[in-house]
Amino acid sequence: MKITILSIFPEMFAGFLDTSIIKKARLKGLVEYELVDIRSFSKDKHNRVDDYSFGGGAGMVFLYQPVVDALAFVKTPKSHVIMMAPAGYLFKQKRARELKEYEHLILICGHYEGFDERILQHVDEVLCIGDYVLTGGELAAMVVADAVTRLVDGVIAEDSPQEESFENGLLEYPQYTRPDTIDGFTVPEVLLSGHHEKIAQWRRKESLRKTWKYRPELLEKIDLDKKDRQYLEEIVLEEDKV
């Protein structure tokens, strides 16, 4: 897979591309990253990439020409083009899983107060990473590139993604490592028991507990069986006591 990023601040990606899993994916040749500076496509004598918004209003808007020319430079018939902006579909794990199937993703980092709407004629989808406004699309592009990269075959251990938060519609259960007691805090007994079925049941219940506590709306979107409902009843009583 190849991920191309169009930005006016390509230098922001240096640390991202040169650290941890992303660096490994790059060095193993599993994902190729390409950074393209939108400013180098400006036809303005001052290299400008933005201008005032028709109709007035604060802030500068990305010009059509440099963005569309940069896009034409990198786009192939296999490319899937994404604009990073607050006014878009909310990016979720499910979309990350779908995006990893594309051979070539192009992420355009919107900046300043927005972009000329006509740029969207050349874009397949607009993605927002959360209900807040960033100074630009760069961090959002890193989020999408990161979430997709780690799902590409060979990037991380085979069986780990299925166990994670959001993969089964729930938040992930708590985890512990050695030592089994520290500062008087102990690891739940069952995890030391070696009893796989009991451990799986405990993890399911604790997954439900985290989801109930932090993201209750997720519980409405998944199929809960009888046992899950019983766990939830117990959780409500247990948490009431705390």
Closest Cα partner for 106 from 156, 35, 193?
35
Residue type, 191: L
The residue of the chain with the least Cβ separation from ligand ADE equals 140
Q: Give the E-state strand segments of 49-154 in sequence order.
A: 50-52, 60-62, 79-90, 104-109, 125-128
CB 142 to ligand ADE: min, Å: 11
Report the C-alpha gap between 21 and 139 in whole angstroms.
17
CB 38 to ligand ADE: min, Å: 15
Nearer to ligand ADE, 66 or 136 (CB): 136
Nearer to ligand ADE, 66 or 88 (CB): 88
Which residue ranges make up the site for ligand ADE (CB under 6 A)?
A: 84-86, 110, 128-130, 132-134, 136-137, 140
| DSSP calls for 127-187 | EE-SSS--SBSHHHHHHHHHHHHTTSTTSS-TTHHHHSTTTTSSPPPP---S-SEETTEE-
Nearer to ligand ADE, 135 or 162 (CB): 135
Nearer to ligand ADE, 95 or 204 (CB): 95
CB 118 to ligand ADE: min, Å: 19
Q: Which helix (H) or strand (E) holds 4?
A: strand 2-7
CB 92 to ligand ADE: min, Å: 13
